[in-house]
């Protein structure tokens, strides 16, 4: 039973592709979460501005 070099190279390439896909999904999810968080902060700031403007109108 000998070791075929082509099989070893194929296994190595497939392993690297698998790891690459895992990293790609990780970074994709991280980017989506960052955008959602940024959007939420923007909404909070706008809500605060509206609240201050309404308070200014009343006072």
Number of domains composing the chain: 1
Cα–Cα distance for residue pair 34/49, rounded to 1 Å: 23
Structural domain of 47: 16-59
- Tens digits of per-residue pLDDT, 1-58? 567 999 999 999 999 999 999 999 999 999 999 988 888 888 888 999 999 999 988 8
Token pair 């895992």 is found at: 22
Which class for 5: exposed (0-12), middle (13-18), buried (19 or more C-beta within 10 A)?
exposed
Does 5 reside within a domain? Answer: no
Does 9 reside within a domain? Answer: no
Three-state DSSP class for 59?
coil
DSSP for 27-54, please give it: HHHHHHHHHHHHHHHHHHHHHHHHHHHH
Kindly report the pTM of this predicted structure.
Answer: 0.60
Does 31 reside within a domain? Answer: yes
- Tens digits of per-residue pLDDT, 43-53? 888 999 999 99
Does 57 reside within a domain? Answer: yes
pLDDT attached to residue 13: 98
Does 20 reside within a domain? Answer: yes
pLDDT attached to residue 27: 96
């Amino acid at each position: 039973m000998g070791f075929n070099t082509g099989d070893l190279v194929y296994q190595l390439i497939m392993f690297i592709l698998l790891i690459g896909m895992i990293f790609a999904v990780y970074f994709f999810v991280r980017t989506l979460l960052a955008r959602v968080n940024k959007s939420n902060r923007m909404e909070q700031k706008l809500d605060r501005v509206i609240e201050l403007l309404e308070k200014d109108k009343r006072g």
